[in-house]
Amino acid sequence: MQDILLIAFDWDGDHCSGFDMGPKRNREWLEDDELDDAIVDEYFEKYKSIRFIYDYGDNWEHTIKTYKPRYKEKN
């Protein structure tokens, strides 16, 4: 997921970054290389949003949320 965000914001990845999940009292923190694509769905089901922080000095914060699809897929 971090690779997609770096491309979207045209960042080169030379700053520390991580993902912050959960309510403020019970947060989980994952460094950029710990959030495997295979577990992204699991976190979104549990937390509904994930906060991505890029460059701990400048503290660029982005909240990533999931939404229900607008249209159902036809089978």
What's the rounded Cα separation, in Å, for the pair 75 and 73? Answer: 6
Comparing C-alpha atoms, which of 23, 18, 31, 21 is closest to residue 60? 18
- Tell me, yes or no, if the pTM score tops 0.75: no
Please write the tens of the pLDDT for every residue from 13-25: 888 887 777 666 5
pLDDT of residue 29: 62
What's the rounded Cα separation, in Å, for the pair 18 and 33? Answer: 8
22 or 44, which is more confident? 44
CA atoms within 13 A on the CB side of 64: 19
Residue 49 in tokens: 């949003």
CA atoms within 13 A on the CB side of 50: 21
